[in-house]
Amino acid sequence: MKYLFPLFIFSLFIFNTSNPKEDIIGKWKSDRINEIEFFTFDAEGYASFESQGQILGGKEFSLHGEKGKMTYSINIETTPIEIDYTITKLQSGESKKILGILEFLDTNSIKIDLKFDEERPLNFSE
């Protein structure tokens, strides 16, 4: 009987741990309807944006005649959460980072603010 309580506590920790990257996996509605409608993140580390029916990113996409891929990484240890996108040209291997911040609004929606000039936004612009 004296071993049941520690076993119960141990099992709570085992079943309650989750990888932060797993929490973002899926298709998220954007708060910026006029710009990007959806953000999608997969378990392999690929990300994409969807705007006006067009999808940019993922494992392989084409932009201006060049093929590329878009990956992501997140840091939930910061407030707001940091998100980095890396766009890589498949032929040359050349890559560019887009730095951003992220906030979960509800179970289906997120707010993301991005900067394309190698600086991370410090807060969300309206």
- Within-domain flag for 97: yes
Percent of the chain with pLDDT over 70: 80
DSSP 74-111: EETTSSSEEEEEEEEETTT--EEEEEEEEEE-SSSEEE
Give residues with Cβ within 8 angstroms of 39, minimum separation 6: 27, 28, 30, 47, 48, 49, 50, 110, 112
- Within-domain flag for 57: yes
Q: Is 65 helix (H, G, I), strand (E, B) or coil?
A: coil
> Who has greater pLDDT, 121 or 18?
121
> Who has greater pLDDT, 33 or 61?
61
- Within-domain flag for 13: no
Domains in the chain: how many in total?
1
pLDDT digits (tens, 9 = 90+) for 19-47: 344 589 999 998 876 688 899 999 999 99
- Within-domain flag for 10: no
- Within-domain flag for 61: yes
- Within-domain flag for 33: yes
- Within-domain flag for 125: no
Query: Which domain covers residue 88, as residue numbers?
Result: 19-115
- Whether the pLDDT of residue 59 is over 80: the answer is yes
- Within-domain flag for 8: no
**Residue-level pLDDT at 78:** 93
Partnered with residue 84 across adjacent β-strands are: 73, 99
